[in-house]
Amino acid sequence: MTAHLPTVNVVIPTRGRPTLLGETLTSVLSQDYDGPIEVLVVHDREEADLMLELRSLPDRTVRSIVNTRTAGLCGARNTGVLASDGEFVASCDDDDMWHPSKVRLQVERLQSDPTLLAVGAGIRLLMGERGDVEWPARESVVSHERLLENRVKELHSSTLMMRRSSFDVAGLYDEDLPHGYGEDYDWLLRASRAGRIGAVQEILADIRKDIPSWFRGRSLNTATALEYLLDKHPDFRDRRRSHARILGQIAYARAAAGQRARGARIAGRALCRYPAAPHAWLALAVAGPGIEPQRMLSAARRMGRGLS
Q: pLDDT band at 301, cuts 50/70/90?
A: very low
In this structure, the answer to whether residues 153 and 261 fall within a common structural domain is no
Structural domain contains residue 163: yes
Instruction: Work out the pLDDT band at 217, boundaries 50, 70, 90.
Output: very low
Residue 143 located in a structural domain: yes
Q: Has residue 125 got a pLDDT over 80?
A: yes
Is 287 a residue whose pLDDT tops 70?
A: yes
Mean pLDDT to the nearest integer, 34-38: 98
Domain stops at, among 176, 208, 240: 208
- The pLDDT-based confidence of 302 (bands split at 50, 70, 90) is very low
User: Domains in the chain: how many in total?
Assistant: 2
104-108, 128-132, 163-167, 298-302, range with the lowest pLDDT: 298-302
Percent of the chain exceeding pLDDT 90 equals 84
pLDDT of residue 218: 77
Domain-ending residue, one of 208, 242, 275: 208
For residue 297, pLDDT beyond 90: no
Please determine, for residue 200, whether its predicted confidence score (pLDDT) is greater than 70: yes
Are residues 242 and 285 part of one domain? Answer: yes
Structural domain contains residue 106: yes
How much is the average pLDDT of 97-108?
A: 98
CA distance 9 to 11: 6
CB-based contacts of 230, cutoff 8 Å, min separation 6: 236, 237, 243, 246, 247, 250
Same domain (yes/no): 81, 185: yes
Q: For residue 216, what pLDDT band results from cuts at 50, 70 and 90? A: very low
Residues 259 and 183 in one domain: no
User: What pLDDT sits at residue 219?
Assistant: 86
Q: Do 147 and 250 share a domain, yes or no?
A: no
Domain that holds residue 186: 8-208
Is 3 within the bounds of a domain? no
Q: Residues 32, 167: one domain?
A: yes
Question: Pick the residue with more confidence: 2 or 34?
Answer: 34
Domain boundary, last residue among 208, 236, 258:
208
The confidence score (pLDDT) of residue 94 equals: 97
Same domain, 259 and 119: no
117 lies in the same domain as 199? yes
Asked if residue 62 has pLDDT above 70, the reply is yes
pLDDT for the residue 289:
72
pLDDT value at residue 288: 81
pLDDT of residue 252 exceeding 80: yes
Q: Please tell me the predicted confidence (pLDDT) of residue 26.
A: 98
Question: 239 and 203: one domain?
Answer: no
Q: Is the pLDDT of residue 307 over 80?
A: no
* Residues 246 and 279 placed together within one structural domain of the fold: yes
**Predicted pLDDT at 295:** 57
Say whether both 138 and 239 belong to one domain. no
**Mean pLDDT confidence for 153-179:** 97
| CATH code of 146's domain | 3.90.550.10
Structural domain contains residue 1 = no
pLDDT at 290: 56
Closest Cα partner for 217 from 90, 72, 94? 72
Average pLDDT over residues 153-168: 97
Domain membership of residue 230 (yes or no) is yes
Considering the chain, what is the average pLDDT of its residues?
92
Q: Is the pLDDT of residue 211 over 80?
A: no
Q: Are residues 12 and 86 in the same domain?
A: yes
- 225 within a domain of the structure (yes/no): yes
pLDDT at residue 213 in the model: 52
The answer to whether position 214 is within a domain reads no
**CB neighbour class for 3 (10 Å; exposed up to 12, middle 13-18, buried from 19):** exposed
pLDDT of residue 209: 84
